[in-house]
Structures are given as structure tokens and as C-alpha cells.
Amino acid sequence: MDIRFAVFTAPLLLVAALSSSAAFAHGDEDEPAKPNCPKGQVFDNKSNKCVLQTSSLVPDNDRVDYAYRLAKDGRYEEALALLDTLKNPNTAKALNYRGYATRKLGRTDEGIGYYLQSVKLDPQYAQVREYLGEAYVIKGRLDLAQEQLQHIKSICGSTCEEYQDLAEAIHDSSKT
């Protein structure tokens, strides 16, 4: 290999590596787990492959992360089915994602119930407050959505993604 090529590409590789790790530093909600497994399977980070979701070897964290991926891909029923396999379904993250999937299925009140349980477990969880606020927007309760926006501002400021997304949802709903 030409030494000039190595000297030139090494810093570029370092920048790329640092950029990708910085993207994940914000939180695991930013980039759901990959790859996309067939229905009835879940991605197991330890074996680095898709396995049956009934496998007892897959930890809850992998299941929760993959359920979020399914929900973000519009596979809400599959996400809920996967969340039903959790050993401990009563975590802030699992309840948030259950709320997200049920809300996206049009069951907004049920979703709000899950979000409120999640908030009770972790009041500083900005993403659940964003999703709760979005559910309130759907219900036409902009006062309650604004309340969640203020909570998010106290957690991560007005420049974080959760604040920006909820502020946009509130703004867009007030135009109609």
C-alpha cells in the first residue's frame, strides 16, 4: 500500500468512526437495532443474528430495542407481540414503546396509559414525554402537550430532538 494513501485515509476513517459513535452517544432511541428479521424473530446482539423470539437466550434489552425497530418500521402488531415476551415488561423503555405501538394503531387512550406508567418510572425520560405530548396533540389537548414540552425543555433544553419534534407537532396542529 502506498504510504501517502494510508496517511490520507487514516484520518478519514477516524473521523467516520467518531461520527458514528457520536450518533449513538445521544441514546439508543436514535437508531433502532438492525437487521430487519422475519416475522416471529428478533435480533440477538450476542449471536449477531436473527433468532426465534421465543428463544430464552435473547435478553429483554435486545427484545425492547427490536420492538422499537419493528414499530418504527410500521410493524406495530409484531412489536406488541415481541413486547409480550419480555420477562420484565414494566420498564420505562418497554412501556414507552408499547405506548408508541398502540398509539400508532389508533388506540391513543391506551397508548397514553402506557406513557403515563413510563413517566412514573422515569420522569426524566425525554422521549416518552415527546410521545405523550404527541398523543395529547392527537386528542386535541394542546395544553397537556405544552406541559410535556416544558418538561422536555427542563430535561434536555430546547435544541434536543424530542423538544423540536413535539414543538413541531404542536405548531402543525394549531394551523388546522
Residue 169 lies in a domain: yes
Whether residue 60 lies inside any domain: the answer is: yes
Domain that holds residue 146: 107-176
In this prediction the pTM is 0.76
Asked if the structure places residue 94 within a domain, the reply is no
Q: Average the pLDDT over 81-106 and give the result.
A: 97
What's the pLDDT tens digit per position in 22-78? 333 333 444 444 568 888 888 888 888 888 877 778 899 999 999 999 999 999 999
- DSSP secondary structure code for residue 89 in this structure: -
Query: Are residues 120 and 172 located together in one domain of the fold?
Result: yes
**Structure confidence by residue, pLDDT tens digits, 113-152:** 999 999 999 999 999 999 999 999 999 999 999 999 999 9
Q: In whole angstroms, what separates CA 174 from the centre of its chain?
A: 26
Domain count, the chain: 2
Give yes or no for a cis peptide into 35 (omega within 30° of 0).
Answer: yes
Is residue 23 within 8 Å of residue 30, measured between CB atoms? yes
Same-domain check for residues 112 and 174: yes
User: Is residue 24 situated within a structural domain?
Assistant: no
Q: At which residue does the C-alpha cell 494510508 appear?
A: 6
3-state secondary structure of 55: coil
Q: How confident is the model at residue 11 (pLDDT cuts 50, 70, 90)?
A: very low
Q: Indicate whether 148 belongs to any domain.
A: yes
55: cell is 428463544
41 bridge partner residues: 52
